[in-house]
Amino acid sequence: MTMETTEVTADLSTGQRLALLREMILIRTFEEAVLREYHADKSPGFDIGKGLIPGEMHLSAGQEPVAAGLCAHLETGDALTATHRPHHLAIAKGMDLRSLAGEIFGRESGLGHGRGGHMHLFDPATHFSCSGIVAEGFPAALGQAFAFQRAGTSNVAAAVAGEGAANAGPFHESLNLAALWKLPVIFVIEDNDWGISVARNASTSVPTNAVRAAGYGMPGVRVEGNDVEAVHAAAGEAVARARAGGGPSLIEVHTLRLWGHFEGDAQGYRPELADVPGRDPIPAYQRKLRDAGLLSEADLAEMEGEARTRVEDAVEHAKAAPAPNPAEALKYVFVEGE
Amino acid sequence: MSISTGTARARQSLPVEPEAGSRRLNTAKALQEAIGSQMEQDDSVFVMGEDVAAYGGIFSSTTGLLEKFGPQRIIDTPISESAFIGLGIGAAVEGMRPIVELMFVDFFGVCMDQIYNHMAKIHYESGGNVRVPMVLMTAVGGGYSDGAQHSQTLWGTFAHLPGMKVVVPSNPYDAKGLMTAAIRSDDPVVYMFHKGVMGLAWMAKNRRSIGAVPEQDYVVPIGKAKVVREGSDVSLVTLSLSVHHSLDVAEQLAGEGISVEVLDLRSLVPLDREAVIATATKTGKVIVVDEDYQSFGLSGEIAATIAEHDPALLKHFSRVCVPDVPIPYARELEYAVLPTAARIEAAVRTAVTA
Ligand SMILES: Cc1ncc(C[n+]2csc(CCOP(=O)(O)OP(=O)(O)O)c2C)c(N)n1
Ligand SMILES: [Mg+2]
């Protein structure tokens, strides 16, 4: 079993590279808009239950390379399970932005008609789901992969969770079962160094989760540098293997939590806080493409403009949508007519 | 770490519900104080859980304790609830007194086997030969749009399963006294604090989340309810954050000449059935206000307790609970299913005219 550090500069076309950047910019634009709207009406002070977007908010800024690099290989019919920090993956998987924003705002127009919220996004159109319970997305991905296998399709399931989740039982049970039954699953660990306030070296007994793959009989790789192209390369291999019937793989990406664990987190526990903005992967990738002569200012302006238009449309749509009717609070507990 | 002092400590008696005095604390500080004081006196006590050290507990249950007691006794864990709750059980079996935090009660699903098949059953299965003096501390409750997996109370589920005591403080005084009693108990105690009673700066709060707390150590006995407001027309039997709403409604309706008694259960296991029967006998009209799911739980248990005592006692019984639905995310929906002051008030008005 391999435990390699990938620093591949993959053989990508300019179009593919620009598409990766475009995806990351769309995600960041969305997260910045949620950040703005979330904090717009919670003062004076900070009251988590107040405002147009209430509740816990876990944003994914800094982790865009994982979503863009992985989802570039996923088809609409492939499944993806995510966590309490799901927006980047939902967007890269192709979720309708209006439905996503509507759910975050708790509107009837939302994906779950306001019943779920931002940690509970279930989208049959893109086979996307997530859970607020750490590590509970792994088993579901196994089941989706099982169904694809039984149906004789070449669809695959990807399960993404944080490095903290890799210490939970369901992760280990799922790796064993996926390998045992050769299920078409791609396990992706987003190592952002932190599980809330607990540093990875205070929670994890091995230097990288890639080594854990060997214990379950599957290939494991670690991608350093929060590098979207390296994620793309590693995910490409793993997805191809799964599609071809070669069974599951594990990829750990060393990524970055650019903001707090949730909004309102002062991050007093985080000693490297001052360095964090300088490690933002998006300006870094822009620089790389610009230096290579692949990205013009006009390209970038167009990407940013398009992202802004799409995101603000989704936000406006959510704000204008009606709130759910309190008289229908009990609707959807069971299938109607059953 | 010494591991043998726990049982001896538990037998030393402390004042029971002394005068509250004039020093005011919020519930979180009262809870931290109880843990800190017991830790100072008994080095077999330690705290373990996710984000309990540098962070001080997501809902401030352990703020400041790392600075006082260091990382050997205030211990951050991986996200491995079965392992660390099970570890707590093993340590307790060997004589330590762990306080283990399950960050949200909603997460019990990933570790319930350790809790109900082990923590709760070892004493019985061992024929009384093995004790599990452990506190499982956990945050409960909704009201701030945290959705279906982070807003439940679930105390009825724990109370249903034999072998663990269950306490649910509603205010700072009880929070300190019940935590002190829980740490010193030789039985496993599930200590459930509602996020909305802690007095957190970042969450809406009722003024009752701040109150007078004695500086000395004391206990609030586990299994003893308290009439927190006397009344003669209707009894509200309730607990946790719903006590705050019930008192608000009682105060408001007093102006109209409606006299509401409020019974704060404080413990579910053991349940103070005498106190329930006493208030039912007094008013003959009982409303259970419970933020847990309505069916198969606490509210039915209260009705059964009264009916078993005297089926003719009640002229009126109703419940203000969460109808059997996952807690919705959208504020409009969540507040339609929570036991709000408006729902309690409507229930009282119905009861007095019944
Ligand atoms: C079973 C369970 N335990 C604890 C939590 C509380 N919790 C939510 S997110 C989190 C940290 C997760 O860390 P990681 O998996 O690294 O993901 P990240 O937040 O860094 O993206 C914790 C402890 C939970 N939601 N579910
Ligand atoms: Mg993490």
Please state, in angstroms and rounded to a whole number, the distance separating the CA atoms of residues A186 and A164.
18
Two structure tokens written together for B329:
């995310």
Q: Quick check: B330 and A324 CB within 8 A? A: yes
pTM as predicted = 0.96
CB pairs < 8 Å spanning A and B: 145
Instruction: Confirm if B33 and B55 have CB atoms less than 8 A apart.
Output: no
Helix axes B241-254, B341-353, angle to 10 degrees: 50
Tens digit of pLDDT for each residue in B272-289?
999 999 999 999 999 999
**Partner-chain contact B329 A106, CB within 8 Å:** yes
Q: How many domains does chain A have?
A: 1
Q: Mind listing the pLDDT tens digit for each residue in B39-79?
A: 999 999 999 999 999 999 999 999 999 999 999 999 999 99
Q: Which ligand is nearest to the CA of A196?
A: 1
Structure tokens at A256: 């970055």
Residue A75 located in a structural domain:
yes
**Is the pLDDT confidence value at B329 over 70?**
yes
pLDDT beyond 60 at A239: yes
pLDDT at B354: 86
pLDDT of residue B11: 57
Q: Atom 25 of ligand 1 has which residue's CA nearest to it?
A: A133
Domain B24-212 identical in fold to domain B226-353: yes
pLDDT over 50 at A1, yes or no: no
Q: Is pLDDT above 80 for B206?
A: yes
Q: Is A88 in the pocket of ligand 1 (CB under 6 A)?
A: no
Q: Return the pLDDT at A2.
A: 40
> Any CB–CB contact under 8 A between B85 and chain A?
no
In this prediction, residues B339-354 reach a mean pLDDT of: 97
For chain A, give the percent of residues with pLDDT over 90: 95
The reply to whether B82 touches chain A by the CB within 8 Å rule is yes
User: Quick one: average pLDDT of B316-344?
Assistant: 98
Cβ atoms of A87 and A61 closer than 8 Å:
no
Band of pLDDT at residue A4, cut at 50, 70 and 90: very low
- Best B106, B200, B333 member to test A by mutation, with max A CBs in 10 Å, is B333
With 70 as the cut, is the pLDDT of residue B87 above it? yes
Q: For residue B48, which phi and psi values (nearest 5 degrees)?
A: -145, 145
Provide the percentage of residues in chain B whose pLDDT is more than 70: 97
Ligand sitting nearest the alpha carbon of B107 = 1
Instruction: Answer whether residue A115 shows pLDDT above 70.
Output: yes
Q: Report CA-CA distances (Å) from B223 to B265, B270, B297, B343.
A: 8, 5, 18, 28
Average pLDDT over residues B25-29: 98
Calculate mean pLDDT across residues A69-83: 98
Is residue A328 in a domain?
no
Question: What secondary structure letter does DSSP report for B129?
Answer: S
| B24-212: CATH number | 3.40.50.970
- Here the ipTM equals 0.95
Q: What is the mean pLDDT of residues A58-84?
A: 98
Burial class from Cβ neighbours inside 10 Å (0-12, 13-18, 19+) for residue B10 reads middle
Residue that has been written with the tokens 């004042």 in this structure: B15
Answer whether residue B235 shows pLDDT above 90. Answer: yes
Whether the bond between B270 and the residue before it is cis, its omega within 30 degrees of 0, is yes
**Extents of the domains making up chain B:** 24-212, 226-353
B233 inside 8 A of chain A by CB = no
Position B12 confidence tier, pLDDT thresholds 50, 70, 90: confident
Predicted pLDDT at A55: 97
pLDDT of residue A136: 98
Provide the domain limits for residue A66. 2-318
Phi first, then psi, for residue B161 (nearest 5°) are -95, 120
Residues 6+ positions from B243 with CB-CB distance below 8 Å: B170, B171, B208, B228, B262, B264
Give the whole-angstrom CA distance, residue B97 versus residue B135: 8
Summarize the confidence of residues A102-127 as an average pLDDT: 98
Chain A, nearest residue to B76 by Cα: A198
Cis upstream peptide for A219 (omega within 30°) = no
The DSSP-derived string for B266-280 is: -EEES--HHHHHHHH
- Which residues share a beta bridge with B286? B235, B317
- What are the CA-CA distances from residue A146 to residues A75, A77, A121, A153, A177 (Å)? 17, 14, 21, 10, 11
Q: What is the CATH number of domain B226-353?
A: 3.40.50.920
Instruction: State whether B80 and A264 contact (CB < 8 Å).
Output: no
Q: Convert the pLDDT of each residue in B245-259 to its tens digit.
A: 999 999 999 999 999
pLDDT at A43: 85
Chain segment B133-178, per-residue pLDDT in tens:
999 999 999 999 999 999 999 999 999 999 999 999 999 999 999 9
Residue A332 lies in a domain: no
pLDDT value at B114 more than 70: yes
Residue A292 burial class via C-beta count within 10 angstroms: exposed 0-12, middle 13-18, buried 19 and up = exposed
- Given a cut of 90, is residue B196 above it in pLDDT? yes
Asked if residue A195 is part of any domain, the answer here is: yes
pLDDT the model gives residue A85: 98
pLDDT (average), residues A242-251: 98
Q: Is the pLDDT of residue B3 over 90?
A: no
Q: Does the pLDDT value for residue A8 go beyond 70?
A: no
Best residue in B48, B74, B79, B146 for a mutation probing chain A (most A CBs within 10 Å): B79
Terminal CA-CA length for chain B: 61
Q: Give me the active site residues of B, please.
A: 150
Is the pLDDT at A3 greater than 90, yes or no? no
CATH number at residue A26: 3.40.50.970
Chain A positions touching B80 (Cβ under 8 A) are 167-169
pLDDT tens digits, one per residue of A270-286: 999 999 999 999 999 99
> What was the pLDDT predicted at B6?
46
Residue B23 has pLDDT above 70, yes or no: yes
Residue pair B299/B328 in contact (Cβ under 8 Å)? The answer is: no
User: Three-state DSSP class for A241?
Assistant: helix
Tell me which residue of A25, A132, A138 sits closest to A85, measured CA to CA. Answer: A132
Cα-to-centroid distance, A192 and ligand 1 (Å): 12
Query: Where is A189: in which H helix or E strand?
Result: strand A185-191
Residue B343 touches partner A, C-beta closer than 8 Å: no
- Contact status, residue B263 vs residue B228, Cβ threshold 8 Å: yes
